[in-house]
Amino acid sequence: MKALSQKRRHPMAVIALLVMGLLLTGGMYAMFSTANQAKADTSFSASDVSEGQKLFVANCATCHGMGASGTAAGPSLVGVGAAAVDFQVGTGRMPMQMNGPQAQKKPVQFNDDQTKQLAAYVASLGPGPALPDAAMLDDKGDATHGGELFRVNCAMCHNAAAAGGALTQGKFAPSLAGVTEKHIYEAMATGPQNMPVFSDANISPESKRDIITFLKTIETQGSPGGATLGSLGPVSEGLFVWVAGLGVIIGFTIWLTSRTS
């Protein structure tokens, strides 16, 4: 007991306890923050993985490297999960057409089966976000709650009407009109381009479903209040008022002066 008491008074004891506390706290945070994603996707067959590897070597390894370990031209794909591949390839953003601030949507180069196979191969390399459950894509969530979540988490980039908006250095948040439910869910789960990752710990699957329901609701409602003016908010609306209003005033002034002369 005396020996233990002396060690507790040792100058390094406080530092050792602090280091142990930091390691314990960091380990627990990492474990709980990734618990919803650190699961291997077992929904694919061995055949899907094998065919996906062939497709990857032929079409993707030039940039992402053999084994998807990454190169100077492309990041590692180990641990990005099947959802990331399905989103990037399924929207035509990958393979990239050319280097730029961000990958842009274009016609897809792989069919659904090939996209699934590529996703299966990448999912086999490490745990990551899996393909979304079909039950979360039925547009039967709470649109009101989804609208609140969208305005808090997404509207600052995508616009309150989901019309998209400009970011810095040539980047942009795209319009969400016409985007499929699956790709919206996958974008939230994987955080493509400049978008942050909204894991299940941040926004639950049910809340993601609500957001998707809100987006599809406003998409089908159209614009009952009149012309949207691009849904760009007070800037475009104010510009329209100034141009149209001043045009009317100038036109009326010219008409008055022509009458008096």
Angle value at C-alpha 150, between 146 and 154, nearest 5 degrees: 160
Nearest to 185 by CA among 81, 34, 29: 81
Measured CA to CA, the distance from residue 15 to residue 176 in angstroms comes to 51
User: What residues contact residue 20 under an 8 Å CB cut-off, 6+ apart?
Assistant: none
List, as residue ranges, the binding site for heme c.
60, 63-64, 154, 157-158
Sign of CA dihedral 109, 112, 115, 121: negative
Nearest to 167 by CA among 252, 101, 81: 101
Burial degree of 55 (CB within 10 A; 0-12, 13-18, 19+): middle
List, as residue ranges, the binding site.
60, 63-64, 154, 157-158
H helices of the chain, where? Answer: 2-8, 11-33, 46-59, 61-64, 81-90, 112-125, 143-153, 155-158, 181-190, 205-221, 234-260
